[in-house]
Amino acid sequence: MMKSKIFNWVDERFNISPLIDFMKHKEVPVHKHSIWYYMGGVTLFLFIVQVFTGILLLLYYQPGVDSAYESVRFIMTKVNFGWLIRQVHGWAANLMVFFIFLHMFSVFFTKAFRKPRELTWITGMLLMFVAMGAGFSGYLLPWNELAFFATKVGTDITGAVPVIGDMMKVLLRGGDDVTGATLSRFYAFHVALIPAIMTLLIGLHLMFVQRQGMHEPDHFKNDPKRKVISFFPNFVLRDALLWLIVLNILLYLAVFFPWELGLKADPFLPAPEGIKPEWYFMFMFQTLKYIPAHVWFIEGEVLGVLGFGLIALLWVLVPFWEIRKKPGARFRPMNIIGTIGVIYIVVLTILGYME
Amino acid sequence: MGISRKKFIDYVLGGSLIGWLGSTLYPILSYLKPPKIAEANVNSVKAGLMTDFAVNSSAILKFGRMPVILIRKEDGEFRAFEATCTHLDCIVQYKADQKQIFCACHNGLYDLHGQNVSGPPPKPLIEFDVNIVRDEIVVSKPKQV
Ligand code: FES
């Protein structure tokens, strides 16, 4: 009684019946590639974890050259469960980027970026870039040695972009060098600007997905034995179960493989050995190492940055230049391009860690 | 009458829209660009007494906001260089065993003249002047910079 009363009250004002109807009829196809339907959901879950743990960390974190490192140490040693919150935040960030990669490549290989999903793909790509920016800006916040030098190196690389590079570097660093001004900036990016942009993009991305429904592979669409499950409650329940599993993995990693805080950054100490970017930048970083200092008349760094810029742009625009396979041919050009990409990333990442 | 009234209004509105965008974005972009802080113009720094420095050792001095590495070579001679690696900005260190200047970020090596000998650094380190004034070490900016 009560329930329907409340429902009617709300429905009269906001007309939610059509929404409920939509939910009821939403279906998720079941086939041998169905597993990939869950990757986006896991990414979303990890984003929620980030917002949640991020807000908790904000309660104790104090940006600033004299307080950032100390406040993080305070969180890790004095605050009840502070270590747990920080480790979960660090691990969820890494897992989120990892699942974004999985999600992206699964969409790429199943050709789910095709019409009408071009803009869904593009918002997804933008989300990936912004998420990497979140990782990069968050890395500096504990103001430890590794983060300090990684930020120096990372921002210096943006300086290699022709024409606007120097301006971008100064804009990022808040000056010519990595200082407290950089920390303030990265803090603002990390806790305000980037989450706001991400929330907006996620909203759009999800709205697109809802309007378009799930992508179905070609062979499946015309299959007479086509199977589906209902989105609500069947798919949602499976999603929830998976989220629970991911949460457990997250806690396990946080407890048994903690991220070290290391030493406080000191601009007047030599760089320590083993400066490494976060793993998802490693393949690009490693590539830069292999390009000689000067190629023909351009500087190696400039060439690398331009090269990656071009590849990123082509990747974003994939739905608009896709090479279709000839009817009946075994040769699938896009799968080969994608496979080369994956192998490249994996091999260079491994090489980067072996050095 | 060259243009219709409607076209004219379109131009006026479009023009003011661009003007409005410009006048909004310009202050924001300018705000993002950090103001130049007058760099306390340090031209020389006293590093201490000669007797404080063992041979074949090094120290990093604060030269304003710039780190400078002071090295006492095996033969007792002093040399100083800007300590920022010419590759990607890391801070270099003196390797006493190899008698070379080393950057740990990507294994850049410089000799004791600041010349880049191996690894990624593209340019030599800028050398600073070292003078001994009554046993006291004074490091100063090179004249031409
Ligand atoms: S920053 Fe010194 S070798 Fe790269």
pLDDT in tens, A285-294: 999 888 877 7
Reported ipTM: 0.79
Contact B67 A171 (CB under 8 A): no
Ligand 1 contact, B125 CB (< 6 A)? no
DSSP E strands, B50-145: 57-63, 66-72, 78-82, 93-95, 100-103, 108-110, 116-118, 127-133, 136-140
CA of A154 to the centre of ligand 1 (A): 11
pLDDT per residue over B56-103, tens digit each?
A: 989 999 888 889 999 999 888 999 999 999 988 899 999 989 999 999
Ligand 1 atom at minimal distance to the Cα of residue B121: 3
The pLDDT > 70 percentage for chain A reads: 100
CA of B121 to the centre of ligand 1 (A): 6
* Nearest CA-CA partner of A270 in A139, A149, A143: A149
Question: Coil, strand or helix: which one is A3?
Answer: helix
Q: Which residues of B touch A273 (CB under 8 A)?
A: 104
Categorize the per-residue pLDDT at B1 as very low, low, confident or very high, splitting at 50, 70 and 90. low
Contact A275 B67 (CB under 8 A): no
pLDDT at A171: 94
Contact A267 B83 (CB under 8 A): no
CA of B85 to the centre of ligand 1 (A): 6
Q: Which residues of B touch A289 (CB under 8 A)?
A: 106, 120
Number of CB atoms found within 10 A of residue A329's CB: 9
Tokens of A323: 């090479």
The arithmetic mean of pLDDT across residues B114-124, rounded, is 89
Residue B122 pLDDT exceeds 90: no
Strands B136-140 and B66-72: unpaired
Taking the model in full, what pTM does it have?
0.90
pLDDT per residue over B7-46, tens digit each?
A: 999 999 999 999 999 999 998 888 888 888 776 677 888 8
Ligand 1 contact, B85 CB (< 6 A)? yes
Q: Which residues of B touch A156 (CB under 8 A)?
A: 88-89
pLDDT at B40: 67
A residues 234..273 contacting B (CB < 8 A): 267-273
Ligand 1 contact, B120 CB (< 6 A)? yes
Cα B126 to Cα B116: distance, rounded to the nearest angstrom: 11
A169–B contact, CB cutoff 8 A: no
